[in-house]
Amino acid sequence: MLWLIIAYFANGLAQFFEKSLQAQGLGAYVPSALIMMYCVGGVIGFPLYLIFRGKISRTELVFGLGVGICSFAGNFSIIQALKYLPAYTTFPIAVGGAIVVVAICSWLFFGEHLSASAKWGIVCGIVAIGLLTVG
């Protein structure tokens, strides 16, 4: 549970950082700000990885690169979207959409069980994203 609490606040602060770039008029610095963010993450993460695991396998490297590229593209896209959409629309669509996609993909590809209430939650999430898009 502690890791979820840390993730909750860390992800929230990362999104606040994204909004702050636009609010401060620093939109031209988006690529360099994101590169710096990922470099800092690497400087912190790599030594921890070595301490806890010792070496990086080819599979871990490929998946890590894939996740990093997707993360960079997602964060870059959110910051770009903030140029045209308010934060109250951008973040719920990006975050809510990701939750819906993960739930559906986990069900389809990993056979995770979705209860009736979970399925209704996905439907409500899709409707909410639609309402935010047109609202």
Mean pLDDT per 10-residue segment, the chain (135 residues): 79 78 74 83 82 78 87 87 85 85 91 92 88 77
pLDDT at residue 116, as a whole number: 93
Which residue in the block uniquely carries the two structure tokens 């610095």?
A: 29
Burial letters 24-47, b for 16+ CB under 10 A, else e: eeeeeebeebbeebeeeeeeeeee
Domain residue ranges in the chain: 1-84, 86-135
Q: What angle do CA 89, 92, 98 make, to 5 degrees?
A: 135
